[in-house]
């Protein structure tokens, strides 16, 4: 799972055929949209959810990009770019565990590596991030993952 937006919304990254197979397998568990399950015991009801493929360009926040940070770090060094935690003007929270990256004591190269890992390879766990944040925030995200399946259970009626 690349992005865990919450208990009712996750995004899965993978090869197209694997995601297609997952989608087909999930259809067997899925309740029919027009089906009435009111007379079926809760323990035997099918799950209500939706799934769809997202049109995206790269599988960010997944292991598919593990080789990319090394080449990005070379480019950043060649361009003499420097990213330091103390230069952040606003709090920036880690996508995997919610810690404030502005409080990082890492040196410039370690901090740059961590930022790149957060964007490319580490999964996003929004719920964990909100735990450490001093405020509850609404977010708008654009997801640029190429092979992604979104599984979003429908809320109960």
Assigned token pair, 57: 């360009």
Residue 13 has a pLDDT of 85
Question: How far, in Å, CA of 84 to CA of 86, rounded?
Answer: 5
Which is it for the CA torsion 43, 47, 48, 49, positive or negative?
positive
pLDDT band at residue 79 under the 50/70/90 scheme: very high
The average pLDDT across 56-69 equals 86
Give the pLDDT confidence of 98-154 residue by residue, as tens digits: 888 888 888 988 999 999 998 888 888 877 655 444 444 443 333 333 233 334 444
Say what percent of the chain tops pLDDT 70.
81
Residue 110: HSE in the Cβ half-sphere, 13 Å Cα cutoff:
5
pTM tops 0.75: no
The confidence score (pLDDT) of residue 72 equals: 92
Query: What is the mean pLDDT of the segment spanning 43-69?
Result: 83
Domain parsing of the chain, residue ranges:
3-31+44-153
Pair type for strands 49-53 and 148-153: antiparallel
Contact (CB, 8 A) for 61 and 125: no
Predicted confidence at residue 130, as pLDDT, reads: 54
Mean pLDDT for the chain overall: 77
Q: Is the pLDDT of residue 18 over 70?
A: yes
Mean pLDDT within 55-64: 83
Choose between 53 and 149: higher pLDDT. 53
Tell me the C-alpha to C-alpha distance, in Å, between residue 9 and each of 54, 68, 146: 14, 27, 18
Token look-up 């990319």 returns: 68
Instruction: Give the bridge partners for 52, in sequence order.
Output: 150
Confidence at residue 90, expressed as pLDDT on a 0 to 100 scale: 85
| CA 145 – CA 12 distance, rounded (Å) | 10
| Beta-bridge partner residues of 148 | 13
127 Cβ contact list (under 8 Å, min separation 6): 4, 6, 7
Indicate the pLDDT class of residue 77, thresholds 50, 70 and 90.
Answer: very high
Structure tokens at 39: 């007379």
């Amino acid at each position: 799972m690349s992005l865990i937006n919450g208990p009712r919304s996750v995004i899965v990254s993978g090869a197209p055929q694997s995601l297609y197979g997952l989608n087909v397998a999930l259809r067997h568990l899925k309740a029919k949209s027009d089906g009435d399950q009111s007379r079926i015991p809760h323990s035997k009801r099918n799950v209500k959810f939706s799934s769809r493929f997202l049109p995206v360009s790269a599988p960010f926040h997944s292991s598919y990009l593990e080789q990319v940070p090394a080449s990005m770090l070379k480019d950043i060094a060649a361009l003499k770019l420097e990213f330091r935690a103390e230069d952040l003007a606003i709090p920036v929270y880690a996508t995997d565990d919610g810690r404030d990256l502005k409080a990082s004591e890492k040196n410039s190269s370690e901090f740059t590596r961590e930022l790149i890992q957060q964007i490319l390879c580490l999964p996003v766990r929004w719920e964990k991030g909100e735990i450490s944040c001093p405020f509850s925030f609404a977010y708008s995200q654009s997801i640029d993952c190429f092979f992604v399946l979104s599984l979003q259970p429908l809320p109960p009626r």
